Amino acid sequence: MLFAAPAMLLFATFVLLPLGASVYYAFTFWDGFSAPRWAGFANFARALTDPTFLMSFVHVVFYIAATLIFEVTFGLVMAVLLNSDRRGFSLMRGMFFAPVVLSMSAAGVLWKFVLDYRTGLLNSTLRSVGLGDWAQPWLAQPETALLFICIVSGWKYAGFYMVIFFAALRRIPRNLYEAARLDGANGVQQFTAITLPMLKQNVIVCILLAVTGGFAGFDLFFTMTNGQPFGATEVPATWIIKQAFDQNQIGYGVALTVVLTVVVSLISIAYLKISERGNVTRY
Amino acid sequence: MSRATERRRNAAEWLQFGTAGVIVLVMFYPAIWMVYSSFKSNREIFRAPFALPSQWRWENLVEAWNVGGLGTLYFNSVFVTLVAVSMCVLFATAAAFAFTRLEFPGRKLMYRILLIGLLLPPPSVAIALFTQLRDMHLLNTPWALILPGAAWQLAFTVFLMRAYFISIRPDMEEAARLDGANTWEIFWHVSVPMVWPAMLTMVVLNTISVWNELLFALLFITDDAQRTLPVGLVRFSGYHSTDYSLVFAALTITTVPILILYFILQRHVIAGLTATAMD
């Protein structure tokens, strides 16, 4: 018990205590300085009618859907493509994974340059191949800003999922493929009949990671656009921080965090329940 | 991995190599572009974004280092990461040892409670944590990042260390106990040397997380002298948003050492991450 005490104490003080305090503050009007006043469900009622907050969930769902494509699916494709013992592949896997170790803020600042209207890599490439008309201020217009944040997120994290799927691919017994080849299965058939079913459990874990991570998404949004242009990239985390620290509405901000926590927990639990029913062992 | 006596590649393998190569190079190119752009003048960056610098201006890096106070940022980041990671891995190893090798009331319950931390997103307590740290007079000190930083990595670290303990049979510990060693001696002289590889993996993974942490660092530190690199970089790029070469230089200084370190430790990083999602 003594051995578990330091960890439990630290965890209780800096995770559980603020979590409990959040639940209390969520029911108060509080500017963070004077004494909190009891508010009942007023903050929650306001949250449900706060158009920006509701839209932030639409944005984050779009973001999560995009990460499932740009991160998980693309990572899986790259794992298959980079799965070779030939010379050069090890280096390519290392390079593909490299963005994962960078900070989101560094990735965000770098990609603001890549997407810069005048001097960015993307627009310069378009201009140099004669498609200069297509050049756009990608992060400054509402129609493209969110999509490009999703693409940057994909650039940053596809390597993470690639590594997980790659390790899983290596665990599939080779003789399964040999048997399939003898039966006349082609590459695509081998992929759908052997590879995908064998990776099922990894896919479930990866989707869970992408969904819970997506809801908590903050760093990239804050660094690249901080909700701009015109709120087109506002996600729950950025909006919550603005409410609490720019508007001094601690009570309301905390209520929003409670809503976010409940949503994430419910989705995770439901997802794990559903995947369990599919006869899959939980990780 | 590759052997000298490889048989020749067939067309499909060349296609695979080519496709993978193009994708990887296109994706890695922004990092290379960042490095050589940091040696260009602003005028060069505007006139020819793709071109290599006509002369390599090392003074850009020196200027960014001085103007951005990158030395202070680096020092703060190293200090926070070092203390938080050591604390987290040590506490987590002890807890995992207790959860798998010792019998005490509330053992299961404690572990269950800890697992809450696995699914909880940090923004969900950020505000309450801010007011709590303010009341504890810890804001604007390194401890505002160290203590929460370590606490938020605990759930995941204990989870993996426990799995590692379970994968090792407790024979050695039991033998030591029969020889009359006390629990403390067993932990330090038997268990820790056995789980050392897993501890190193957790050090690497936690270092990446704590080093890159942005949200807490943004909220809990408002004093420039205490800031860490991620926030410092964002603020620097905001102040100097029109001075492209300066921001490129700051980016290069803050990311290239990390990338080099990663390429050296690549095996450990990847092995660690793989273990995370597979078990």
Taking CA–CA distances from A25, the nearest residue in chain B reads: B128
Q: Is A94 on the interface with B (CB under 8 A)?
A: yes
pLDDT exceeds 60 at position A143:
yes
Instruction: Select from B127, B237, B262 the Cβ nearest to the Cβ of A253.
Output: B127
- Give B-chain residues touching A172 at CB under 8 angstroms: none
What sign results for the dihedral spanned by CA atoms B144, B150, B153, B154?
negative
**Mean pLDDT, residues A168-173:** 86
Which A positions 124-153 lie with beta carbon below 8 A of chain B?
Answer: 124, 128
Q: What is the pLDDT of residues A74-104, one digit of tens each?
A: 999 999 999 888 888 889 999 999 999 888 8
DSSP A53-67: HHHHHHHHHHHHHHH
Ramachandran quadrant class, B181 (left: phi over 0; alpha: psi -120 to 50; beta: rest): beta
For residue A202, give the nearest of A231, A169, A226 by alpha carbon.
A169
CB within 8 Å of A20: residues ≥ 6 apart: none
Instruction: Report CB contact under 8 Å: A102, B255.
Output: yes
Instruction: Select from B20, B104, B127 the Cβ nearest to the Cβ of A82.
Output: B20
Q: What pLDDT is stored for residue B210 in this prediction?
A: 92
Give the residue ranges of DSSP H helices in A68-173. Answer: 74-81, 89-97, 104-114, 121-128, 142-171
Q: What pLDDT is stored for residue A65 in this prediction?
A: 95
CB within 8 Å of A280: residues ≥ 6 apart: A200, A201, A204
Average pLDDT of chain A, as a whole number? 85
Distances in Å between the Cα of B246 and the Cα atoms of A104, B68, B86 are 19, 9, 34
Instruction: Report CB contact under 8 Å: B278, A164.
Output: yes
Instruction: Report CB contact under 8 Å: B244, A113.
Output: yes
pLDDT-derived band at A70, boundaries 50, 70, 90: very high
Give the distance, in angstroms, between the CA of residue A275 and the centroid of all CA atoms in the same chain.
20
CB A228 within 8 A of CB A144: no
Q: What pLDDT is stored for residue B172 in this prediction?
A: 85
Taking CA–CA distances from A259, the nearest residue in chain B reads: B124
Instruction: Report CB contact under 8 Å: A105, B233.
Output: yes
Percent of chain A with pLDDT over 90: 20
Q: Is B251 on the interface with A (CB under 8 A)?
A: yes
Give the distance, in angstroms, between the CA of residue B54 and the centroid of all CA atoms in the same chain.
36
Burial of A129 (0-12, 13-18, 19+ CB in 10 A): exposed
CA dist., res. A17 & res. B136, Å (int): 13
CB within 8 Å of A130: residues ≥ 6 apart: none
Q: Is A111 on the interface with B (CB under 8 A)?
A: yes
Across the 279 residues of chain B, what is the mean pLDDT of every consecutive 10-residue run?
Answer: 61 88 92 89 81 84 86 93 95 92 86 85 87 89 93 90 87 86 88 88 89 91 89 88 87 91 84 65
ipTM of model: 0.85
Q: What is the pLDDT of residues A22-43, one digit of tens each?
A: 888 888 888 777 777 787 787 8
The shortest C-alpha distance from B241 to chain A (Å) reads 10
DSSP 3-state assignment of A38? strand
CA dist., res. A257 & res. B124, Å (int): 5
pLDDT exceeds 50 at position A281:
no
CB B91 within 8 A of CB B150: yes
Query: Please, what are the domains in chain A?
Result: 51-277 (1.10.3720.10)
CA dist., res. B59 & res. B246, Å (int): 10
| C-alpha radius of gyration, chain A, whole number | 23
Bond prior to B30 in cis (omega within 30° of 0): no
Look up residue A226 and give its amino acid: N
Q: What pLDDT is stored for residue B2 in this prediction?
A: 46
pLDDT exceeds 80 at position A233:
yes
Both tokens assigned to A87: 């010379």
pTM to 2 decimal places: 0.86
- Give A-chain residues touching B20 at CB under 8 angstroms: 78, 81-82, 89, 92
The shortest C-alpha distance from B2 to chain A (Å) reads 5
DSSP 3-state assignment of B66? helix
Burial of B259 (0-12, 13-18, 19+ CB in 10 A): middle
Ranges A47-51, A264-268, B143-147, most confident: B143-147
**Mean pLDDT, residues A250-263:** 87
Query: Please, what are the domains in chain B?
Result: 70-239 (1.10.3720.10)
pLDDT-derived band at A279, boundaries 50, 70, 90: very low
Q: What pLDDT is stored for residue B22 in this prediction?
A: 93
CB A121 within 8 A of CB B33: yes
Give the distance, in angstroms, between the CA of residue A58 and the centroid of all CA atoms in the same chain.
14
